Amino acid sequence: MKRKNILYIVIVAVVTVVIVCFISYSGGENEPAKTEEAHEEHEGEAITTKEVELNQAQFNASGIELGTFEMKNLSAVINANGYTKLPPQNQADVSVLVTGVVRSINVIEGQFVKKGQTIAVIESLEFTKLQEAYLTSKSNLEYLTTEYERQKTLNDENVNSKKALQRAKSDYETEKARNASLKKQLSTLNLSGSGGAISTMSVKAPISGYITEVNVKIGTNAEPGKPMFTIVDNSKMHVDLLVYEKDLQKVKTGQTVRFILTNQDNVEIKGKIFSIGKAFENETKSVAVHADILNDKQILIPGMYVNALIDIGLNNVKALPVDAVVKADGREFIFVLEEHAKEENHDEEAGHEHGDGHEHSEGKTYHFQRIEVKTGTTQLGYVQVTILQDIPANAQIVLKGAYYIQSHLLKSEGGGGHEH
């Protein structure tokens, strides 16, 4: 009986120890879990609300540009590639109608000229012969006009025969036509029929524009059909976009086109479709879509390659330049300028001096808060952005220089960064 009591006491003791150990183990395991979770929450909050401070010199050196959201259509669009092009009526090859020798050239490549401006002078004996023929014809016409009038008067008085009148009229009409032809030739060659005969002729610009080619030099023979100069008027530039068959039915005249130059800064240029081709371009199974350029101040030349978006719907979203978004720890952020940028003076009391005996002032400082965002569709250097935190409607967002601020933040964290 005594042995059974002892066994019973031992069993109860063992069970009690096991229960106590189990409770202690469970409580110890849950506590670290909660601590770790709280730590993660705090860490996430710290990442979201991190702040960077830049002084005036750092701000100036970083090339930071500030702005706000733009409403852009990034989804209801058709992607197209193409190139800038000039219509034929805005291009001109300058040549001569009569062979001559170039005596002077008044322009160089790249120079702007106005319509009717003298760009070269050529010399030829043909000019003097033509003027001589015109002056002779003019004199003959005056005589024949007088003779014709005299024969009409005699005929009215029945003094002469009708045959004499008809002969006078025929001579007059023939010379009149010849004189008009010679006068027109002189006008076409920019020569005057009055005064003495000259052997030189001015070559004038047929359109206003820029000289792109000069194919002659002093002493060169200028020949009919061979261009001496080429002039282009870039003010009427448009873009030719290649749209594939599957998207053709969605494209209509009047639709807005947005494009950027692939080899230039990502400056967005706007246009509007004015014509759609009716045949495939070569064997590409694509149709040329022509669009006027609305940004007339943009410097463009023919043949520039472009990437374009044709707006086929109205699905505008908030968008920022791609460079405005930075990635860190698998998340995406933008930087917002806080309103409390101010003049920083580290002297806490008037008259306080530092070790060198001079007052120290940091100047204007800029505080940027890092805000977490979520991105969407990316087109033409812009990306759809959804803000995951509340920011003021007129907040100034860093559009350019965000990576500089992010790198500054990482350096600050390495040396005890500034956080809120």
Total-model pTM: 0.55
Instruction: Assess whether 340 and 302 both reside in one domain.
Output: no
* Mean pLDDT across the chain: 79
Question: For 118-177, what is each residue's pLDDT tens digit?
Answer: 999 999 888 888 888 888 888 899 989 998 888 888 887 777 778 888 888 899 899 999
Give the CATH number, domain containing residue 372. Answer: 2.40.420.20
**Who contacts 394 (Cβ-Cβ below 8 Å, separation ≥6)?**
68
Question: Starting from the edge strand earliest in sequence, which strands make up the sheet with 229-232, in order?
Answer: 91-94, 229-232, 209-214, 112-113
Evaluate if residue 353 carries a pLDDT over 60. no
The yes-or-no verdict on residue 351 having pLDDT over 50 is no
Question: Which pLDDT score is estimated for 94?
Answer: 94
Banded pLDDT at 44 (limits 50, 70, 90): very low
Which one-letter amino acid corresponds to residue 109?
Answer: E
Q: What is the CATH number of the domain that holds 206?
A: 2.40.50.100
Confidence label for 307 from pLDDT (cuts 50, 70 and 90):
confident
- Does residue 137 belong to any structural domain of this protein? yes
Specify whether the CB–CB gap between 198 and 122 falls below 8 A: no
Query: Residue 60 and residue 379: Cα distance in Å, rounded?
Result: 29
154 plus 210 within the same structural domain: yes
**CA 133 to CA 155: how far, in whole Å?**
32
Eight-state DSSP code of residue 50: B
Tens digits of per-residue pLDDT, 178-217?
999 988 888 888 777 676 678 888 899 999 999 999 999 9
At 359 the pLDDT is 42
pLDDT tens digits, residue range 314-326? 778 888 888 889 9
With a cut of 80, say whether residue 263 has pLDDT above it.
no
When divided into structural domains, the chain yields a total of: 3
Q: Residue 101: what pLDDT?
A: 93
How high is the pLDDT of residue 116? 92
Domain membership flag for residue 351:
no
4 falls within a domain: no
Regarding whether 286 and 258 lie in a shared domain, the answer is: yes
Q: Which domain holds residue 293?
A: 77-86+237-314
Rounded CA-CA distance 164/360 in Å is: 114
Q: What are phi and psi of 316, to 5 degrees?
A: -75, 135
My answer on whether 227 and 111 are in the same domain is: yes
Say yes or no: 217 and 243 in one domain: no
Where a domain ends, among 176, 208, 232? Answer: 232
Which has the higher per-residue pLDDT, 350 or 92? 92
CATH number at residue 268: 2.40.30.170
Q: Same domain, yes or no, for 68 and 81?
A: no
